[in-house]
Copies of this chain bind each other. A is one copy, B any other.
Amino acid sequence: MTLGPSNHSSTSIAAAALSALCERLGDDLVLHGPEVERYCRDWHGDITSGAIAVIRPRSTKDVSEAVKAVRDLGLSIVPQGGNTGLVLGATPDEPERQVVISLERMSAIRRIDADDFSAVVEAGAILAEFKDKVEQAGLYFPLSLGAQGSCRIGGNVSTNAGGINVLRYGMTRELVLGLEVVLPDGSVFDGLSTLRKDNRGIDLKQLFIGAEGTLGIVTAVAVKLMPPAEQVATALLGLPALEDAIRLYRRARRDCCDLMSAFEFMPPVAFTLAREAIPDLPMPISGDYEAYVLMEISGSGLVDVDDLMNRFLEGVMVDGLVLDGVVAGSKAQARNLWLFREGMNEGQAKRGAHLRTDVSVPLSKLPAFVSEAEAAVYEACPDCLCVSYGHVGDGNVHLNVLPPSGLSKEEIAQRIYTSKVVINDVLYRFGGSISAEHGIGRLKKPEFAARLPDVQHRLLKTVKQAIDPDLIMNPGCQLNFTPDS
């Protein structure tokens, strides 16, 4: 699929813009021709667009000069990190008017200060590489994502990335101490402080976290670091019902002193799906239960987390909250328990195209939401299979809908569309969010705009137009703005 109109006159305008960019910024910074394509294709490879050029700055000053040049030429900017986003937030959609600014060459770790439990890192640093360097300094940066081998810190900030450690350490916002941002006029907002407490008025950096590059380009980030989680205890538990997962979660937070690092729920069909992907996966737990919880406690130093997990499970099994459970006795066994979670994902993929959601609800409402939303899907699409799982402590559910085999492409698309509509209807009744983690980008913009309250819409527009009056920063992402709309 190719996005965006193209005709001869706009092509010649684009060519003139390209040569002006090269002249002003130098050939070293400006990439054009066929190499541009890989920056214009989304992570799934479903959508390919184009751009006038890709600018690849080496410094904050380069970014500032690039923004000024693009602005002077009347073009607009799509900032890009590792291009691993799932909502088309970092790929262009107006090839003749947009320039991608890729931060990939700005990957320096400016500072790791172990006594300050902080680091300052450039936006283009790859998350996994940064985490390794932090580990070598005896500390831990807790942000952990599937894409961490490719995603870059600036993108994590711009999408307020979540990942598997949110329960213990929070979203990216809670890990950010300071930001350096190039604003739409090319000026540099230098907020790279590592202060823990700083109440000097309005905290401007918060605006850029989760803004998906619509207000400026994050060029460097100051983050909190943690002591390493040296010990991890992992358990898979069988529960009487999904409702019990909420009661178990509440008990676990108290009993385990908020040292939980994961608390995932899975449906009975998880095992079937995991076995379809990994046929020789050993069954870790005997018996069939209505709901499963994969739970992890982690810690460092003097707290014995294995002992803590065992005593916790003794108590909740006596009280009937958990019917059966298995605790990993080694790292390999823990890995096997997680393989069920991952195998379940692979198993769904093997069944072909299906609806994947990334929604959140208040966590006390999670069982009721799953029950009502699944019922609504089964009423609208009785031949589909619902697979609901996710992070109990974050209220984050992946309610996926798998069409049966043997349908045509059009029938599958219809099932996906219909089930999304009915899930969103239930979701809004529960005060939920259509995007718990992934952002809005260009993909979820219609859904987002459709239910955005007027006051929020007006306020977003006011802030956007104040900071980016010429609307040059990632136009088309999150919301459509026009100067006089």
Contacts and interface: CB of A to CB of B under 8 A. Distances in A.
A189 B395 contact: no
A308 B459 CA distance: 49
Contact of A118 (B114, B226, B362, B467): B362
Name the residue in A194, A302, A312, A435 with the highest tally of chain B Cβ atoms < 10 Å from its Cβ: A302
A202 B197 contact: no
A189 B456 CA distance: 7
B312 A196 contact: no
Given A258-B227, A466-B466, A198 B435 contact: yes
A207 B315 CA distance: 44
B195 A431 contact: yes
Interface of A: prevailing SS: loop
B212 A201 contact: yes
Contact of A174 (B170, B191, B315, B391): B170
Contact of A199 (B183, B198, B299, B435): B435
Given A256-B302, A258-B226, A198 B116 contact: no
A303 interface: yes
B202 A463 contact: yes
A431 B193 contact: yes
Contact of A113 (B196, B362, B391): B362
A396 to B, nearest CB: 5
A312 B301 CA distance: 9
Interface stretch (A33-41, A71-79, A246-254): A246-254
A214 interface: yes
A434 B207 CA distance: 22
A303 B194 CA distance: 31
Contact of A210 (B117, B203, B259): B203
A150 interface: no
A96 interface: no
A439 B199 contact: yes
Contacts of A396: 196-197
A479 interface: yes
Q: Which 9 residue pairs of A and B lie closest in terms of their CB atoms, listed nearest first?
A: A466-B466, A206-B206, A115-B364, A255-B301, A116-B364, A227-B254, A197-B436, A257-B299, A198-B433
